[in-house]
Structure formats: C-alpha cells, structure tokens
Amino acid sequence: MELEIYLNVLWFVPLVVWIATRKRSQILRSTIVGISFGLVVSYASVGLYALHFAWPVSETFGQFCFYLSFIHDLAGIRVAIILRLVGAHSPIADDQRFLIEVVNTVSWAIVYGVLGLLWGCFRNSCRRGSEVKLGSSKPEFAEDYKKPKAAEALIEDKRASKKK
C-alpha cells in the first residue's frame, strides 16, 4: 500500500516536460507532453487509487480513480491478447504481467502522443496564414516568404533615414 502512494509523484513528469519544452513549437510540445503523459498515466492512476483511503471525499474520488486505472489497465491486457503475448483464457503469470505493462505503457504513449499531435495541429490551425517549423517556437507568416529582397532593402533604407 505504501508503494502505490509514491506513484503519485509520476504526475509531475508531464508537468516537467511541459515546462522543459516551452520554447518549442506547439505541435512538438503537445506531442512530447502527450507521450510523457501516456508513459506514466497507467501507474499514476494506480497511485491515485491508493489515495482513496486518506482522502476526505474518499468514495467519489476512489471510484473515479478505480475506473481510471481499470480503463488504462484493461486496454493493455486487450492489446497483449491481440498480439498473442498472453493467452485469452488463462491466468496471468508474473512474467506475462511484465509484458502487459510494457505493452500498456507503449500503447498509451502512442495514444496520448497522437492526441497531443492532434491538439497541437488544432491549436496551430487557429493561426491562419502561419507556417510553423518543427523546431521553432513562433510561427513564421507566409507574407514574410513572399517579400522580394528589393522590398526588404527599401524598408531598411526607410528605417535608416528615420533614424537620421
């Protein structure tokens, strides 16, 4: 019981990743945060379920966390059965449990990574006329690419004459 409570520290991993990627583009940032959330969500939901004894609203919170951990755990078992890593009608041994957890972690990282990618694309599509490079933090507008070099030179000349 005591070990499960410490699994709640894993909720800080996506937060730290979100802070660490703040200078990246929205698409890349949300994809990386989604992947990091998918890597820890199964174990962190078990940690939340362990808190249902100590929480003031233990019935509601405990039920919510139970269903959250049940959904994330059941999906890993179903994917492991589809991949034939585990027998469909047999008890699960310890070595099979490890395979289920690996499949669970990878599958939720993919699911939440794709959701993060879609969220980043949605957030980026709100900025019309912008083109974002994967490594940059700010969009570069399409008008900047269409300006001829002569026009840029005229703008620089006007700025220089204003300073005089």
Whether the full predicted model's pTM is greater than 0.85, yes or no, is no
CB-based burial, 108-126: b 16+ in 10 Å, e otherwise: bbebbbebbbebbeeebee
**What local confidence, expressed as pLDDT, does residue 57 receive?**
64
Neighbours of 104 (CB within 10 A): 23
User: Please, are residues 74 and 84 in contact by the beta-carbon 8 Å criterion?
Assistant: no
Taking the C-alpha atoms of residue 45 and residue 75, their distance in angstroms, rounded to an integer, is 14
Q: Looking at the predicted structure, is the pLDDT value of residue 25 above 80? A: yes
Q: Looking at the predicted structure, is the pLDDT value of residue 33 above 60? A: yes
pLDDT in tens, 122-146: 887 766 555 555 555 555 554 554 5
- Residue 75's nearest CA partner among 122, 116, 108, 117 is 108
Q: Which among 87-96, 104-113, 143-152 has the top mean pLDDT?
A: 104-113
For 148, the 3-state DSSP assignment is: coil
What is the domain partition of the chain in residue ranges?
Answer: 2-126
Report which residue type is found at 46: V
Q: Looking at the predicted structure, is the pLDDT value of residue 34 above 90? A: yes
**What local confidence, expressed as pLDDT, does residue 46 receive?**
79
